[in-house]
Structure formats: C-alpha cells, structure tokens
Amino acid sequence: MAAKKTPARKLTAAKCKPCKGTGEVSRPVRVGRKHRVVGEQTGMCLACFGSGEAPTN
C-alpha cells in the first residue's frame, strides 16, 4: 500500500486588508477648492505597496 503523504503546503501570505489582496484601492477624486468628490480612481495600496499581501510586521 502506498503511504499517503501530505503535500507540503505552500504558505500563502495573508491578504492585505485595505485592498483585499488586490494591491489596489479605490480612492475618491476631489477637485476644486471645495474638494468636491467627482469620482473614484484606483491607486496602489499603500499598506502592501501593490503586492496584495499583508505586511508581516
């Protein structure tokens, strides 16, 4: 009988919370002196720097 080996599980990094692992976050775009919000744009997540992985420390 063949001994079943548990495959070594690759440790996956925890997903970054602010961007949910996507590495991008949407942020409101403001224009004018009153900083009116005109829409949203995606930008690099500053918590994980675009990697999508939660910082370890």
Contacts with Zn ion, residue ranges (CB under 5 A):
16, 19, 45, 47-48
The minimum distance between CB 22 and Zn ion, in angstroms, equals: 7
The least distance separating Zn ion from the CB of residue 40, rounded to whole angstroms, comes to 16
Closer Cβ to Zn ion, 28 or 31, answer by number: 28
Amino acid sitting at position 22: T
Give the Cα separation of 35 and 13 in Å (integer): 37
**Tokens standing for residue 53:** 């992985």
Residue closer to Zn ion (CB basis): 35 or 49: 49
